[in-house]
Structure 1
């Protein structure tokens, strides 16, 4: 089984972290391929960058020359997962939705701890659109940018732990979702500090993607995610 794990930004180091997180939980028969877009922002933290990332990830997947069995879109928030589902004939899994749906098996309500406050509405909108918002206790911001996560690991851990503890104590969350692919590896420390299960979106997405492939399931193509109709499209991601 081969799964493409697409970073939504152009930072190669972040792709490496995300791919390593995916490989750590993937089955022995699963080959993880990290994908970095050829254009876009070095970190995605707003609407403009998010919509640009949606196009960039589609371009990267369409131009991948090898065979693959599933795609994981590794960006927390709104990054155009629906467009990928139209273009791909294999399962497409978004880490925001994979983390939230997994959390609902583990507790009554969950909270997301993410990066900057400006990304909170994007995550809230994605959860609402996916039908996963009803059991979301809160989306909390750590105050760190995406690129800052790797610059000072201790500061990152302290900030994420602090907001996770507040989510449990003040918002009554019973599960924490780490709201950025760059937070992979913090699960154990956050679990120890909060006493609740902690879900990394990349790891959850790998488990979901593997399950869908093993079950022989993929996206329905009869209506919403049907392939784009043949027409002239002047665009770098026009389907061939």
Structure 2
């Protein structure tokens, strides 16, 4: 089984950290590949950057030259998942819903610790749309920007623990790490809190393995039917950004791709 994990920003070091967490969670025989868009914001901290990233991720998926059995989208609370479900013929999971779903299996109420406070409403909206907000006791920001998470890991863990304690006091029995850039920190946070801590990347990988193992994929009967054939000007954009020798033909489903970043 091969699972593609997509970092929605263009920071390759974050892709590497996400890849490491996904690989650690994967079962023997599961191959993890990870990449990021060819263009777009270096981090995502708001709706504007989120929608830019969604377009960049879909562009990347439409021009990626490899097959895979499932896609994990590693952006927390960010748009684009539904578009990928229409585009691809494999299961698509995102870390927001995967983390919340797993947390609800472990406790009555869960909390989320994320980056900046401005991300809180965006995450709440995503949970509401997914039907998962009712059992969320709290979403708390740490005040750290996405790119700050990697600068001082020990300080990052301290700040996450402080925010997570606020969520626990608000009624959370399980904590979700609310950013792909927090991947790999769950054990340190759990040791300090004494409650389960769910990493969304790891959770999504395990759900992806289960869905693929059961022979299931996204329903195309209605909401996520393939995009209707039509002219889309300058799409995919990345084919216009590469030298002509490297350009690939776009495809509406998971075929005929060309890869450049993060070793794939």
Partner of 2:165: 165
| 1:129-208 pair list within 5 angstroms | 129-169=129-169, 171-208=170-207
**Deviation of 1:49 (Å):** 0.5
Q: TM-score, normalised by structure 1?
A: 0.97
Q: Which residue matches 2:75?
A: 75
Partner SS for 2:134: coil
Q: Aligned to 1:165, what secondary structure does the other structure show?
A: helix
Larger mean Cα displacement after TM superposition, 87-96 or 189-198? 189-198
TM-score (norm 2): 0.89
In 2: Cα distance, 1:98 partner to 1:221 partner? 21
Q: Which of 1 and 2 has higher RCO (CA within 8 Å, sep 6+)?
A: 2
Size of the alignment, in residue pairs?
239
Write the distance in 2 (CA, Å) between the matches of 1:239 and 1:231: 12
Runs (5+) with no aligned partner, structure 1: none
1:25-80 per-position Cα deviation (integer Å, ceiling 9, x unaligned): 10111111111100110000110100011111111112111111000000001221
**Which structure would you say has the larger Rg?**
2
Deviation at 1:236, TM superposition (A): 2.5
**How far does the alpha carbon of each residue in 1:66-106 deviate from its partner, in whole angstroms, 9 at most, with x for none?**
11100000000122100000001000000000000000000
Deviations 1:132-180 (A, max 9, x none): 10100011000000000000112101100001111112x1100000001
1:4-19 → structure 2 map (5 Å cutoff): 4-19=4-19
3-state SS in 2 of match to 1:177: strand
> Alignment RMSD, CA only?
1.0
Matches of 1:5 and 1:100, distance apart in 2: 18
Q: CA deviation at 1:235?
A: 4.2
1:2 aligns with 2:5: no
Kept after mapping to 2: 8 A contact 1:6/1:35: yes
Contact 1:35 1:60 (C-alpha < 8 Å) held by counterparts:
no
Q: Which 4+ stretches in 1 moved above 4 angstroms?
A: none
